[in-house]
Amino acid sequence: MNAKMERFAEVSAEAVVLIGKHWTELYGNANLKSDLGGMIELERTGNFAYFTLRTETGELAGHAGFMVFRSPFYGAMQALDVFYYVLPEHRGGLGICKLLKLAGQMLKVNGVSQIMISHKKNQDLSVLLQRANYEPSGETYEFKE
């Protein structure tokens, strides 16, 4: 497996397939709306970073997307995960660790000082995230009405 940073705009047709599979796995519905044009525009302005995990034959096996922004409090660049996903048939190895570690390294090289990543409450990925050099720093809560 090879992890690299790619332009979302150039691979969005492949990415949308993974997004659909991801949503089907999580919510049972691949028809949730995603704003691909918005991600492409954010990428164009430097506010979205996209990373891929590909097989040796070039097949897209996983991906991760991060919002990148300047903190109004610290003045430093920060990144927050929007999604990360690896196809079930490519899980079990360290592909996700490779993908998220590369994402962290590339974001840092590009001036991001703090990278935040979360996981679903029912999917404890803390061991994998720690293998990819992410450390726990708190909990994320989602507002519900």
* Exposed/middle/buried for residue 30 (C-beta within 10 Å: 0-12, 13-18, 19+): middle
The token pair that represents 92 in the structure block: 């079990």
- Summarize pLDDT for 54-104 with one digit per residue, the tens: 999 999 999 999 999 998 887 889 999 999 999 999 988 888 899 999 999
- Summarize pLDDT for 51-65 with one digit per residue, the tens: 999 999 999 999 999
Q: In whole angstroms, what is the distance from residue 39 CA to residue 55 CA? A: 24
Q: In whole angstroms, what is the distance from residue 11 CA to residue 53 CA? A: 12
Task: Say which residue, 94 or 42, is predicted with more confidence.
Answer: 42
Q: Nearest 5 degrees, angle CA 42-CA 87-CA 119?
A: 60
Q: Specify the DSSP class assigned to residue 112.
A: E
* pLDDT class of 30 with cuts at 50, 70, 90: low
In the chain the domains, ranked by start, together with CATH numbers, are 2-131 (3.40.630.30)
Backbone angles phi, psi at 70, to 5 degrees: -90, 125
